[in-house]
Structure 1
Amino acid sequence: MLVKDNFPSISGMYLINGEWISSSHVKPVINPANIKEVVGEIALCSQDDVNQAVEAASSAFQTWSQTTIEERSNLMLAVASKLEKIISENISLFVRENGKTLIEAKKDLGRCVEIMKKGPDLLKEWWQVQDFSNEHQKVQIRKRPRGVTAIIAPWNSPMILTFKRLVPALLTGNTVVFKPATDCPLTVMNCLKEVAACFPQGVINIVTGSGRVIGDTICSHPKVKAVAFVGSTETGKEIIKNCAPTVKKLSLELGGNDPALVLQDAKLDDEAIRNMRGAVLRAAGQVCSAVKRIYVHQSRYEEFVTKLEKDFHRIVVGNGLHPDTTMGPINNKSQFDFVNDLKNKTIQEGANVVNCGRKLDDESWENGYFMLPSFVTGVKQTSDIVQLEQFGPIVPILPFSDTEEAIHLANDTEFGLRASVWTEDESLAIKLADRIQAGAVFHNNHTIFKDLRLDFPGLKESGLSTETIYGGLEFFTDSYGFAN
């Protein structure tokens, strides 16, 4: 029997034009560390609900777009202070519906406040009119909000990836229709409840449910002018199709199959191995920019494998709420089954899969989507474990003979999100980075950008977006020329 008194207040609800509406059609949100526990419910909205949300956003845009950047900036700073006060009370909820550890959850939520606080200063600098006048003609480049914006978030890092889009959209004067992921919607909605209450009605609207129903309706709606999506490449391609008839502006942060190249002179000390382990296993590998393939010079191969295995054994897998846990479960059954199937197929192909780490609690292991971290040796470049985005705590390690082969192997994928080069020769790292097909290349690490103003688009099938410094602000605006 469900104890709904323990559910968050937004459970089974959605937001249109300032009103939170209860739905009789809901789906349970399961704790991936204890699949017997229902954390809350998500409403299954209809196409009509989406249309109402878009109409509300369109109506609100008429007035919100006319506010000044000072008004929007001051409001954003005030809301940031309000959100900061409730972050701590939402960390446990986030762990229970997402599966991350307490440390990972705290970082995700805290960075949302950081984005809200830094955004207004960036806006004031970026919004200035650019003057290209000369003796022949007065010409200015001016900016204005684009209109109703759709933001579609993933389940792996819904807080940070939502706020990185929501904040610039609102600051530049747009209104938003937001769709959270069905497997992890509650924390972001709980936080947005506080945020939306501070904005005029209709500026922020939230519709939930099936991606096929909600996402398709949003993307095909003629009044939606821009769509910012984070998720799989397959879904991204469907979004492109649905947006094509109305030529919407698109920001797509899609899949990745990030290579790490460990060269002959790489420094394989404890810090380097620890950094590599974090790059592979952060959030149980459920990060689009995680290392998903490791290529090691054949002269260092055995040394690297031995050291990485030793470090992987430090991992404790269990419920993220437990302070001893260093890696939580896979978020949902579909992804859990996919990674397990991929792992089993790899074993059937004759590759060597080595499980590492330890279980926090044997008794509860079967009640969650838990998986020990593992690595794969004796695997071919053509194997699915190398070619696909596994999005889980398993990584193939392959040898190479020279840098030309390493570059060929790194680029042998349809993805191009991130990459890393591990060498003591920085000039060589830069030369290789020039040839690696990725939106960003790290040297002797494989991490995220510490400065939240910095991010870079993926290449090939990893996305369509520009998020570097002002890229988020630029995406949600139209620049136009004024001349006489």
Structure 2
Amino acid sequence: MISTFPVVSGKYLIGGQWLQAEQTANVINPANHQEIVGEVALCSKADVDEAITTAVKAFETWSRTAVEDRANRMHLAAEEIKTLVEENVTLLVRENGKVLVEAKKDLLRCVDIMHHAADELLEWWQPRILPGNQKVQIRKRARGVTAVISPWNSPMILTFKRVIPAVLTGNTVVVKPATNCPLTIMSFLKVVASYFPDGVINVVTGSGGVIGNAICSDPRVKTIAFVGSTETGKEIMRAASGSVKKLYMELGGNDAAIILEDANLDEDAISRIRFGVLRAAGQVCSAIKRIYVHESRYEEVIAKLKKEFSRIRVGNGIQPDVEMGPLNNKAQYDYVNGLIERAQESGAAVITGGIQLDPDTWDQGYFILPTIITGAAQDSEIVRAEQFGPVIPVLSFSDTNEAVRLANDSEFGLRASVWTEDEDTAITLADQLEAGAVFHNNHTVFQDLHLDFPGLKESGLSRETRHCGLEYFADSYGLAN
């Protein structure tokens, strides 16, 4: 057991000072309930007020700095962050549950985000002249204090994809990491903040009901960037409704994968489907959460997924041979287990696979083996809910119109995928699917950091971007003669 806590343990950041909280809570290793990874500060409303006041003051000067200065500072911060990746990988695994390979990719992607966004800023910020008889320039300006409320499932990437463009566009930020795993993101932000004037980056932690509400209801906060559940997103919207704010929200998902009659289901394709379902133990907003298979291929898909899932090694992500770790917290663990139990009670069949690497200590972590659900109805809880765990319901359909109807039969609309050898058919279905992005013969993430396609319906509130998210955090205005 590693007993040394990170230097940010139990602290919060305001105006360049890391302050020790009077009240803290333990951060637990989800693979071992007995291991305390560190402490998280339980900040008060007064702490939030101080953080916002400090951010407002810092904005007065930071918003006027040259974009070249902002970009240069970010590049320098990224280079130091890169040197800290190896020593922080195990911390992320211990507080989040990700396996080592996934954790390292997350940390390296944070470095990429910093460099990419800083490079993009220099061109994107330049004024744009509109054609016409009157000279009209479209110019950019910073908006003010930005609140970044990040989740526990992918705390690094999803925080950096918001904090970095917010700071680069001249805003100051108040960050609220998830209390279940705040330590790695705070350790990284400690370094990033040191490259910017005091008060540009502030961090408060604690109860969402207390400090989250205080942040979102404060009229001095001009932008809220949130990643999390749709229900929490609605609560944030209500709290923010007292003043007009810009909201950038990536919310829940119940992604459908449609496997057509002509789909290539070789080992590589099944591996991609498995990854789409089980990446980060299924705790990904854009993971496959429903599979619709043409009736002629249904039994084949079940057999191949069962075989694929049976090979997955599940255990503590710190072990190099582990392919899937635990769920992050007890609430999510209980929720997913409850979904599986209620599905079985309703008459659905539960197929469990996978390998317990450490069966003697299995009950010390929030482990759930990969699970396939068959025989569930379209209107059942297991199909309609965002499971957010390593469980996947598989249903059949008879024609493509039915498949599209079933896939669209959800309040969510984050991602979808179509599995077919006919690209024209994939495009035709993609045009009909109510999702922010559709993949063909894959279900993954966009590798290009410039791209981001938020969800439709109750899966998001924003717009597509090819500028590293910079436009979410700056206002455009016209200057005319």
Partner of 2:121, secondary structure, is helix
SS of 1:363's partner is: helix
Q: Distance in 2 between matches of 1:467 and 1:132?
A: 22
**Corresponding residue number in structure 1 for 2:267:** 270
> Where do residues 209-358 of structure 1 align in structure 2 (5 Å cutoff)?
209-358=206-355
1:475 aligns with 2:472: yes
Aligned partners of 1:134, 1:13: CA distance in 2, in Å?
55
Q: Look up the equivalent residue of 2:174 and give its one-letter code.
A: V
The question of whether the paired residues in 1 share the 8 Å contact of 2:269 and 2:441 is answered with yes
1:299 counterpart letter in structure 2: S
Among residues 60, 82, 91, which one is paired with 1:93 in the alignment? 91
Q: Say whether 1:163 aligns with 2:160.
A: yes
Contact 2:161/2:468, CA 8 A, preserved across alignment: no
Quote the residue 1:131 is aligned against: 129
For 2:63, the aligned partner's letter is S
- Number of the residue aligned with 1:41: 39
Q: Please, which moves more after superposition, 121-130 or 177-186?
A: 121-130
Give the SS at the match of 1:448.
coil
Distance in 1 (alpha carbons) for counterparts of 2:301 and 2:122 = 48
Give how far 1:214 is off: 1.1
- Distance of 1:347 and 1:120 partners within structure 2: 50
Paired position in structure 2 for 1:21: 19
Opposite residue 234 of structure 1, the aligned amino acid is E
Query: Is 1:414 matched with 2:396?
Result: no
Q: What are the equivalent positions in structure 2 for 1:6-155 lying under 5 Å apart?
A: 6-132=4-130, 134-135=132-133, 137-155=134-152
Instruction: Give the match's secondary structure for 2:360.
Output: coil
Deviation at 1:118, TM superposition (A): 1.0
Contact 1:346 1:385 in 2 (8 A): yes
Counterpart Cα distance in 2 of 1:35 and 1:45: 24
Length-normalised TM-score, structure 1: 0.98
Percent pairwise identity: 62
Unmatched runs of 5 consecutive residues or more in structure 2: none
Matched residue, 1:383 = 380
Q: Does 1:202 align with 2:217?
A: no
| Structure 2 counterpart of 1:476, one-letter code | F
Counterparts of 2:463 and 2:473, CA distance in 1? 11
The alignment partner of 1:11 has SS state of coil
Structure-1 separation of matches of 2:190 and 2:474: 25
- In 2, the alpha carbon distance for the partners of 1:197 and 1:75 equals 10
Q: Quick check: 1:373 aligned with 2:370? A: yes
Partners of 1:84 and 1:97 lie apart in 2 by 20
The amino acid across from 2:130 in the alignment is F
Q: What is the Cα deviation at residue 483 of structure 1?
A: 1.4
TM-score calculated relative to the size of structure 2 = 0.99
Match of 1:334, SS state, is: helix
DSSP-derived class of the 2:447 partner: coil
Partner AA of 1:283 in structure 2 = A
2:176 to 175, 179, 202: 179
Aligned residues: 481
Letter in 2 for 1:44: L
1: CA distance, partners of 2:361 / 2:36: 16
Deviation by residue 1:115-155 (Cα, 9 ceiling, x = unmatched): 111112211111111112643x3211111000000000000
How far did residue 96 of structure 1 move?
A: 0.2
Is the contact between residue 309 and residue 356 of structure 1 (CA under 8 Å) also seen in structure 2?
A: yes
Distance 1:102 1:150 in 2: 30
Give 2:346's aligned amino acid: E
> How far apart, in 1, do the equivalents of 2:186 and 2:159 lie?
10
Task: Tell me the amino acid that sits aligned with residue 279 of structure 1.
Answer: G
CA distance in 2, matches of 1:178, 1:466: 22
Q: Deviations over 1:196-219 (max 9, x none)?
A: 111110000000000011110001
Q: CA separation in 1, counterparts of 2:464 and 2:396?
A: 34
Displacement of 1:470:
2.0
Residue 471 of structure 1 and its aligned partner are, at CA, apart by 6.2
User: Is the 2:116–2:468 contact (alpha carbons within 8 Å) kept by the matching residues of 1?
Assistant: no
- Aligned to 1:256, what secondary structure does the other structure show? coil
**Residue 438 (structure 1) aligned with residue 435 (structure 2):** yes
**Distance in 1 of aligned mates of 2:116 and 2:91:** 26
**Hey, what's the Cα distance between the residues in 2 that align with 1:329 and 1:467?**
32
What is the Cα-based RMSD across aligned positions, in Å? 1.0
CA contact (8 A) 1:466 1:472 kept: no
Q: Which amino acid aligns with 1:459?
A: L
**Whole-angstrom distance in 1 between the partners of 2:136 and 2:30:** 57
Which digits, 9 at most, give the CA deviation of each residue in 1:364-390, with x for residues without a partner? Answer: 100000010010011111110000000
User: Mind listing any 5+ residue stretches in structure 1 that lack a counterpart?
Assistant: none
SS in 2 for 1:434: helix
Residue deviations 1:57-79 (CA, integer Å, cap 9, x gap): 00000010010000001111000
Residues 407 and 435 of structure 1 are in contact (CA less than 8 Å); yes or no, is this contact kept in structure 2? Answer: yes
* Pairwise CA distance, 1:466: 2.6
Give how far 1:468 is off: 2.0
Structure 2 Cα separation of the partners of residues 256 and 112 of structure 1: 23
User: What is the rounded CA distance, in whole Å, between the counterparts of 2:322 and 2:467 in structure 1?
Assistant: 37
